[in-house]
Amino acid sequence: MTLTFIGHGYVGLVTACILADFGNNVWVIGHTQEKIDRLKKGDPIIFEPGLTELLHKNLKANRIRFTLDYDQAIPQSQIVFIAVGTPSTNGGDADLSAVFKVAKRIAKHLGTEFTTISCKSTVPVGTNKKIESILQAEKGRNTSVAVASCPEFLREGSAIYDTLNPDRIVIGCDSKKAADLLLELHRPINGKRVVTDLASAELIKYTANAMLATKISFANLISFFCEKTGADVENVLDAVGLDKRIGRIFMDPGVGYGGSCLPKDVRALTRMGFNLNINTDFLENINDINISAQKYFIQKILNNAKSKKVTIWGLTFKPNTDDVREAPSLFIISALLKNKYKISVYDPVGISNVKQEFGDRIKYFEDPYGALQDSSALIILTEWNEFRQVDLGKIKKTMRHPLIIDGRNIYNPDLMKKLGFKYYSVGRKPIK
């Protein structure tokens, strides 16, 4: 098939490369010449494990092409994927301006064959119907289109694996012809198929992300109970998770969830509920607990660091990505700067994105130990694997005061005690 992707972020580029790898002819449309030139040269712009190799392979085979020009790609495509961002507006709604703008442009360039417009962007219920109206109003007389909602469930950091091994493929669509085409396109990929209506598909995505956020906030709430009572959150959640009805997965307490999806999708669902006159206190509480987890952690730093010179390891919102959108690190660094802390930071791939936020207000290091010189606290915000088995003796020697404040519970408190560290983690007894 010939396909077009509009948008080349974590969803658009990864899915485009995988579908090209299956032998399809794939166009990717962007909106800045500079980025298109980089992509054409094999630079994926974002950091996602395995993506550079997949991009190179398919560029070489001429199965993936990048352009700014809709006319080059759309008329010959059987399926056009919309994969542009839907960030939060100031009020918390999903900003749909990019989605509607590209829908208009697609309509103007449709070919004479039937085209399926498949929306991968996360959009509130009713948006795909609006896309349909835009297409019908703006398209030429000799063209025919159908709209489908194909929400995406990939996680950054394991985007290629998730796309190839999904739990389910959701296709929301009123047109059998379009649904069949999408089913055929996904044939090489396993996973349950859920073919449904547009509204259900749109709501499935928000429900899934709100449920994931609920699990994390619940784990964080229980960690507050543990810290006040002397219980150990890992023991509590491990035991509770043995109940198959509950499970342990995605219940790791920490510094709160971040990223480009969970926070904005919980807010957008809350706004959707408000517009529908549904009580959304529950969703607001999920968001509030997430903020509390970050504030609670900041307080641990303010209460325990012996000087205002501290080090942060891990800046991205999770490991194996360079993405710092709504990363807890941004919130925590801002709070520490307000309190006049001097901050040295290290992250394997997230430095350049954090530099755009804080410039020279903090110090950046390419070596984790270098960042620890004279530091009174090592603060861990992302559980990168390379932090799990560091040289703790070297850390202790390099720091001014041997204090670790661990927002991801990656170290064993007993070992910390044995090595003479002060150690604060989440929902576990502190080692003083």
Verify binding: residue 135, ligand UDX, rule CB under 6 A: no
In the region spanning residues 351 to 410, those forming contacts with ligand UDX, defined by CB under 6 A, are none
Verify binding: residue 169, ligand UDX, rule CB under 6 A: no
Residue 5 has phi, psi (to 5 degrees) of -110, 130
Q: Whole-number minimum distance, CB 148 to ligand UDX, in Å?
A: 17
Q: Whole-number minimum distance, CB 252 to ligand UDX, in Å?
A: 3
The interface region with ligand UDX, picked from 92-100, 148-156, 180-188, 397-405 by CB under 6 A, is 148-156
Q: Which is nearer to ligand UDX, 59 or 262 (CB)?
A: 262
> Which of 17, 185, 162 lies closest to 116, judged by CA?
185
Q: What is the DSSP letter of 367?
A: S
**37 in a labelled binding site:** no
Q: Which is nearer to ligand UDX, 294 or 398 (CB)?
A: 294
Q: Whole-number minimum distance, CB 263 to ligand UDX, in Å?
A: 9
Q: What separation in angstroms does the CA of 47 have from each of 40, 147, 352?
A: 16, 31, 12
- With contacts defined by CB under 6 A, how many residues of the chain interact with ligand UDX? 19
CA distance linking residue 179 with residue 186, whole number of Å: 11
3-state helix, strand, coil in the chain (%, to 5): 45, 15, 40
Q: Angle at which helices 198-229 and 262-275 pack, to 10 degrees?
A: 120
Give bridge partners of residue 25 from the DSSP assignment: 2
Residue from the set 7, 44, 124, 254 that interacts with ligand UDX by CB under 6 A: 254
Q: Which is nearer to ligand UDX, 401 or 428 (CB)?
A: 428
Verify binding: residue 252, ligand UDX, rule CB under 6 A: yes
The interface region with ligand UDX, picked from 75-83, 259-267, 337-345, 366-374 by CB under 6 A, is 259-267
Residue from the set 37, 250, 295, 302 that interacts with ligand UDX by CB under 6 A: 250
Mask: binding to ligand UDX, 197-216, rule CB under 6 A, as x and -? ------------x--x---x
Pick the catalytic residue from 17, 119, 150, 261. 261
Close Cβ partners of 18 (under 8 Å, ≥ 6 residues apart): 54, 160, 163, 164
- DSSP per residue over 41-77, as a string? TT--SS--TTHHHHHHHHHHTT-EEEES-HHHHGGG-
Q: Which is nearer to ligand UDX, 105 or 155 (CB)?
A: 155
Catalytic site residue 261?
yes
The interface region with ligand UDX, picked from 25-33, 228-236, 256-264, 333-341 by CB under 6 A, is 256-264
Task: Indicate if the alpha-carbon torsion angle 46, 264, 128, 206 is positive or negative.
Answer: positive
Q: What separation in angstroms does the CA of 55 have from each of 15, 25, 37, 330, 431?
A: 11, 13, 14, 30, 47
Amino acid in position 59: L
Distance in Å from the first CA to the final CA of the chain: 62
Q: Whole-number minimum distance, CB 1 to ligand UDX, in Å?
A: 24
Give bridge partners of residue 363 from the DSSP assignment: 344
The interface region with ligand UDX, picked from 131-139, 170-178, 248-256, 422-430 by CB under 6 A, is 248-256
Residue from the set 257, 341, 384, 387 that interacts with ligand UDX by CB under 6 A: 257
> Which of 400, 244, 386 lies closest to 314, judged by CA?
386
Q: Which residues are annotated as a binding site for NAD(+)?
A: 35, 86, 122, 156, 264, 325
Question: Which residues are at the interface with ligand UDX (CB under 6 A)?
Answer: 152-156, 209, 212, 216, 250-252, 254, 257-259, 261-262, 317-318
- The residues carrying an active-site annotation are 261
